[in-house]
Chain A
């Protein structure tokens, strides 16, 4: 994560939520760990094949909250 001046954001709390596109499917949650300056990693298990939507719930060090969403399409079964 970086701010508008491309400076890495450290000390943020990042929760990852993975949802399927169908109602009734349980979302998967994971807390991301800061592995390097501004670099966060988390492990999320997709329990079903198909299209997933990832929601990032971010709390910045100053308490400000952010949400970002992106798609992970076409997850295939193992």
Chain B
């Protein structure tokens, strides 16, 4: 963990922190987009050719799978974000 001097480095640190946050958000939103709009809509027909158990895959992503991914994604984001907070020394007490 880096130790930032609040008064001199704080601007650079805040900028760094913001860029790290934005990178994480972009990664998460890319996954969000792929599972719902990608698997559930754009590639729905193609994925329906694959059947797992009684589910056609495209249909499953559209009605169930994407929701599971959304839940996991938020918790993953929250834990990564907590780490970024701590690494930059901007976390709450």
Binding between chains A and B: no
A residues apposed to B, CB below 8 Å: none
Question: A-contacting residues of B (Cβ < 8 Å)?
Answer: none
